[in-house]
Amino acid sequence: MGQDEDDAMSEPVERLCADCGIPLSPDETFVCSDCCAFYTIFRDPNGYMAGDDDE
């Protein structure tokens, strides 16, 4: 590899929102705060919301 290729591979990549593509702030991981409401995942380990009754 040449020097130019090494530099291109080590440049920091700007993190973008997975939905709208705007740059993410340091406290955001995959989506921005505006899109977050659409991607909130509710974890229900006891199955109360899914209606999984063992009775």
User: What confidence tens digit (pLDDT) does each residue in 1-55 have?
Assistant: 555 555 556 777 899 999 999 999 999 888 898 888 777 766 666 766 666 555 5
Residues 17, 35 contacting (CB under 8 angstroms): yes
pLDDT the model gives residue 29? 87
Report residue 22: phi and psi, to 5°: -80, 155
Give residue limits of the domains in the chain: 3-39
pLDDT the model gives residue 36? 84
Q: How far is CA 24 from CA 31, 33, 36, in A?
A: 7, 9, 12
pLDDT the model gives residue 21? 94
pLDDT the model gives residue 17? 93
